[in-house]
A and B are shown apart, each in its own frame.
Chain A
Amino acid sequence: MTLLAAASSVRQAEDGPSCYSALVNEWWCAQYVQDRRDEIFDATTEHLSITVAAIVFGLVIAFPLALLARRLPRFESLILGVSTGIYTIPSLALLPLMVPFTGLSATTVVIGLGLYALTVLVRAMLDGFRAVPADVVESATGLGYGPTRLLFKIELPLALPVLMAGLRVATVSTVALTTVGTLVAYGGLGNLISHGVQRDFRAELVTAGVLCVLIALLLDGVLVVLQLFLTPWSRAAQT
């Protein structure tokens, strides 16, 4: 028994302090990831759910706005003007401006980031609808398509490539922006980065930063696959 304990203490001495101790403070430390995997997992989950919620919020608002803007040209320039204005406001200033309405909650971050996503998505939708060839719309009308069926069966599928390009841009930037949510304590991986800066904890902030980039790449990949799946005709045209 004593022998075993002695052996293990010797091994510990050989390993020296763990690579994330304050003495060593290495940038990358597998031991850290292993020891704190629960904390990292929770932060990643929060990050993902805030991002997805913000994108869904942006999509749900952007769609009716785009449809309305298409009908009323005056409304279109208003929407484009306001969305440029929103996009100009730095994220660190937009979040505080939401606080009186939604408090210090995840909702604040979701709505704030959703507004940014919204500005990209409305533009992408309008550009997408504009890219639908007029003669295709005309033929569909001639075949007896009503406005609703025309929208969902003809215009939306044909607008999809441009729309998806916008959705990819919005998604990737939302993943990065979510970190700023740490201002109201709901920043997902941003909370780890913030903590890492305060404590001068390199492994923590680098791990969180790398995970952010990985999430962005992952979601982007998912959207690419989704687009292939939703537009089978473009795949057929390529082969």
Chain B
Amino acid sequence: MTLFRLTWDYLTTGSNWTGSGGLLDRLGEQLLLTVTALIVAMLIGLPIALWLGHVGRGGFLAINISNVGRAIPTFALLAVLVTADWPGSGELGPYGRAGLATLIALGLFALPPLITNAYVAVREVPADAKEAADGMGMSGSQKFWRVELPLALPLVMSGVRLALVQVWATATIAALVAGPGVGRIIVDGFARNLYSQGMAAAIVVAAAALVLEVGAAALQRAVDPVPRQTTRKRGRAMSAAGPTL
């Protein structure tokens, strides 16, 4: 098929990668967006969710926020943010056109998986472990830092992984509102009937997503304080809840 050949040509032409608005430029932009949004969402979401899990309150909210997040189309939220007077579609330093609107949307869509998983993780710490901590005379904060957090960490981390996948996907969709990121090259290609360009950028985005996911999984295993057997089982149990893109 000629489309495949043209796509290959696009990917193997150096000038498509370098320069302003090239693949590398956009890839860097999207990575920067993803990392910034994920860190901000973690700083906001994780303390709240872990605290809620620790005191055992707000479960309804923590669980249902994921369902609400799934029902709201990323594209619609981005559209509203970009069309509004604030944040609008203005340039934001290295984040590109509509940078602020994109960052807000990315952060909002990263929150549900982070909050739900962190909350469930702390709630699922075995009751006898908590009881043993009480019996040893640990204070509330000691119990949290020494017992609950280490045991909850694997599930919290899978929430972070879900959020990462989610943020990367959302960052790609930002292009539909003429935002930053590699998605811009895809949308441009489709708008100008240059399907090979759209395909090539799509392959780059997909490959980057897989690399991020595999890297995050490896990192998760490396920092996991609990034996792997239990984490695998728990990871699968959570999978039914499913991520959203």
A residues in contact (CB < 8 Å) with B: 84-85, 87-97, 99-100, 116, 120, 123-124, 127, 162, 165-166, 169-170, 172-173, 175-177, 179-180, 182-184, 190, 193-194, 196-197, 200, 202, 205-206, 208-209, 212-213, 216-217, 220
B187 nearest CB across to chain A (Å): 7
- Are B202 and A97 touching (Cβ within 8 A)? yes
- Are A180 and B244 touching (Cβ within 8 A)? no
B residues in contact (CB < 8 Å) with A: 1, 3-4, 67, 70-77, 79-80, 82-83, 165, 168-169, 171-173, 175-178, 183, 186-187, 189-190, 195, 198-199, 201-203, 205-206, 209-210, 212-213, 236-237, 239-245
- Are B190 and A183 touching (Cβ within 8 A)? yes
Chain B: CB-nearest residue to A91: B245
Q: Which of B73, B168, B187 contacts A183 (CB 8 A)?
A: B187
Give 9 pairs: A residue, B residue, CB < 8 Å, sorted on A.
A92-B186, A127-B239, A166-B242, A173-B244, A182-B75, A190-B75, A193-B79, A194-B79, A220-B71
B213 nearest CB across to chain A (Å): 4
Q: Which of A93, A196, A209 contacts B73 (CB 8 A)?
A: A209
Q: Which of B74, B82, B186, B210 contacts A197 (CB 8 A)?
A: B82
A60 nearest CB across to chain B (Å): 19
Chain B residues near A172: list those with CB within 8 A: 67, 70-71
Q: Which of B178, B189, B198 counts the most chain A CB atoms within 10 A?
A: B198
Bound Cα distance from A206 to B79, whole angstroms: 8
Bound Cα distance from A220 to B71, whole angstroms: 10
A80 nearest CB across to chain B (Å): 8
Bound Cα distance from A88 to B167, whole angstroms: 11
Contact of A196 with B79 at beta-carbon distance under 8 Å, contacts A96-B202, A176-B244 already known: yes
B149 nearest CB across to chain A (Å): 26
A22 nearest CB across to chain B (Å): 12
- Are B240 and A123 touching (Cβ within 8 A)? yes
Chain B: CB-nearest residue to A120: B242
- Are B199 and A89 touching (Cβ within 8 A)? no
Chain A: CB-nearest residue to B71: A216
- Are B190 and A89 touching (Cβ within 8 A)? no
- Number of interchain pairs (Cβ within 8 Å): 165
Chain B residues near A212: list those with CB within 8 A: 71-73, 76
Chain B: CB-nearest residue to A97: B202
Chain B: CB-nearest residue to A89: B206
- Are A93 and B172 touching (Cβ within 8 A)? yes
Chain B: CB-nearest residue to A124: B240
- Are A205 and B80 touching (Cβ within 8 A)? yes
Given contacts A93-B203, A216-B70, 16 further A-B contacts (CB under 8 A): A84-B213, A88-B213, A89-B206, A90-B209, A90-B245, A91-B169, A92-B202, A92-B205, A93-B186, A97-B202, A97-B203, A182-B75, A194-B79, A194-B176, A197-B83, A212-B76
Q: Which of B70, B72, B178, B209 counts the most chain A CB atoms within 10 A?
A: B70
- Are B209 and A93 touching (Cβ within 8 A)? yes
Bound Cα distance from A25 to B195, whole angstroms: 35
- Are B186 and A165 touching (Cβ within 8 A)? no
Contact of A173 with B176 at beta-carbon distance under 8 Å, contacts A90-B209, A99-B199, A183-B187 already known: no
Bound Cα distance from A199 to B23, whole angstroms: 28
Bound Cα distance from A93 to B170, whole angstroms: 11
Bound Cα distance from A179 to B3, whole angstroms: 25
Contact of A127 with B242 at beta-carbon distance under 8 Å, contacts A176-B71, A193-B79 already known: no
- Are B173 and A92 touching (Cβ within 8 A)? yes
Q: Which of B3, B168, B201, B240 contacts A166 (CB 8 A)?
A: B240
Q: Which of A116, A162, A184, A208 contacts B240 (CB 8 A)?
A: A162
Bound Cα distance from A127 to B169, whole angstroms: 26
Q: Which of B70, B82, B206 contacts A94 (CB 8 A)?
A: B206
Chain B residues near A202: list those with CB within 8 A: 83
Contact of A183 with B242 at beta-carbon distance under 8 Å, contacts A194-B176, A196-B83 already known: no
